[in-house]
Amino acid sequence: MKIIILVTSLLLFLHFESSAQTKFVLEPSQSMIMTGKGSGQDATINPYFGQDCYAIVKNIGKREFSIRVQQEGKVIEEISILKDEVKKVKLLKGYELYLDPNPEGRAKASVDYEKIVEEK
């Protein structure tokens, strides 16, 4: 019985330890890279790192902010995201996702990822 409790506790601890931060506060002067620079430098854990996927970004704050997609320093796409809006952004392998703040005040965002499923 003690072993079952110990193993269950260990599994729960490992699950909570490995879960990624998904909500972020963006200060007016702070641009945040979410993915693309490799493990240890990403603000979120992308379970689809190294392959094409979607980033689901939601504005959970009161101010507009921007999403920026880059590859090797070249801006591919910039998208404004309004209050309560959700954007689904395609991230190809090698793309970097940035959240750029609103210079007028704090913005809040939620970031998640989704596998690209090809329809047949």
Question: Phi/psi at 12 (nearest 5 deg)?
Answer: -65, -40
pLDDT at 75 > cutoff 60: yes
Map out the domains of the chain as residue ranges.
Answer: 19-115
Count Cβ neighbours within 10 Å for each residue of 9-36 and write b for 16 or more, e otherwise: eeeeeeeeeeeeeeebebeeeeebbbbb
Question: Phi/psi at 21 (nearest 5 deg)?
Answer: -70, 135
Looking at every residue in the chain, the average pLDDT score rounds to 80
Of the listed ranges 27-36, 95-104, 108-117, the least confidently predicted one is 27-36
Dist. CA 22–CA 9, nearest whole Å: 24
The answer to whether domain 19-115 has CATH 2.40.50.140 is no
Total-model pTM: 0.74
pLDDT tens, residue by residue, 40-66:
455 777 888 889 999 999 999 999 999
Dist. CA 64–CA 58, nearest whole Å: 11
